[in-house]
Amino acid sequence: MPYAAIGMSAALIIVILYNTIKILKEYERGVIFLLGRFQKVKGPGLIILFPGIQKMTKVDLRVIVMDVPTQDVISRDNVSVKVNAVIYFRIVDPEKAVIRVENVFEATSQLSQTTLRSVLGQHELDDMLAEREKLNTDIQELLDQRTDNWGIKVANVEIKHVDLDESMIRAIAQQAEAERARRAKIINAEAEKQAASMLVDAAKMLAAEEQALQLRYLQTLKEISNERTNTIVFPIPFELVDSMRKIAGGKSP
């Protein structure tokens, strides 16, 4: 009997010490309740509790990475897409995180899903594909504002995937091809416009200087004579004939 009593006493002491002495790591805090009422936040280090009177809820202050499940989103231009994301947040106020919400992680997850659908639904598909950084910032700021009452700080939000069905992918590819064709036509038209403008300027310059026109005509004859052919047919412009008559001192009929 004495040995049994000693064993029971030792077990009781161990249980009491287990419920009395708590050690919290550097990144942990303990929210202490005294007879059901909030008392204080303690930690890190050694914490002494009075069993039956005080109760502690442990809170982790490290950054938490949470995946937002894939959400069906209808964009502003009525395109249905599937979007998933990841959020980075941490608890900055252990008291609020324990007292003001039952399950802070579940609440943050559900709020992230609804916020993702709400924000993306206000934008068109092109914005989702081309302006992810802006959308990430918009979602992060809205989430941070809404979770502040829970003692949560949302540090970052990243949209991971925007999935489209096959028909929409084909439509986007056709649109991109049409855009490339449009740009090619515009570039060709600009090149033709520039070339025509340069030809007009050259024609004005030659028309203004008779000697320049004659030199250009002679240069053309020289280029033709270099070709491997036995017969050369070329026109003689009236302007050249008149110029030659003027140089020779003749008169036009």
pLDDT tens across 66-103, in order? 999 999 998 888 888 899 999 999 999 999 999 999 99
**Are residue 189 and residue 106 in the same domain, yes or no?**
no
- Give percent above pLDDT 70 in the chain: 71
- For residue 18, being part of any structural domain is answered with yes
Task: Estimate the crossing angle of helix 238-248 against helix 210-225, to 10 degrees.
Answer: 110
Can you tell me which residue has the tokens 């092109």?
126
Bridge partners, residue 83, by sequence:
71, 162
Q: Do 68 and 55 sit in the same domain of this protein? A: no
Please answer whether residues 39 and 67 qualify as being in contact, where contact means their C-beta atoms are separated by less than 8 angstroms.
no
Average pLDDT value for residue range 55-64 = 94
Higher per-residue pLDDT: 147 or 195: 147
pLDDT above 70: residue 171: no
pTM assigned to the model: 0.64
CA–CA gap between residue 198 and residue 9 (Å, rounded)? 107
- Residue 96: per-residue pLDDT: 95
In a domain, 5, yes or no: no
Domain match, 69 and 160 both: yes
The pLDDT of residue 21 is 87
Mean residue pLDDT of the chain comes to: 81
The tokens 């490290």 sit on which residue? Answer: 62
pLDDT band at residue 189 under the 50/70/90 scheme: confident
* Number of independent structural domains in the chain: 4
For residues 157 and 181, membership in a common domain is answered with no
Q: Which of 132, 164, 196 is the last residue of a domain?
A: 164
With contact defined as beta carbons under 8 Å apart, do 64 and 90 qualify?
yes
Asked if residue 140 belongs to a domain, the reply is yes
- Among all chains, which residue has been given the structure tokens 């039952």? 102
Q: Looking at the predicted structure, is the pLDDT value of residue 135 above 50?
A: yes
Domain region containing 95 = 64-164
Which amino acid does the sequence have at 191? A
Are residues 68 and 125 part of one domain?
A: yes
Do 202 and 250 lie in a common domain? Answer: no
pLDDT at 240: 57
Residues 126, 148 within the same domain: yes
158/71 same-domain check: yes
- pLDDT at 253 > cutoff 50: no
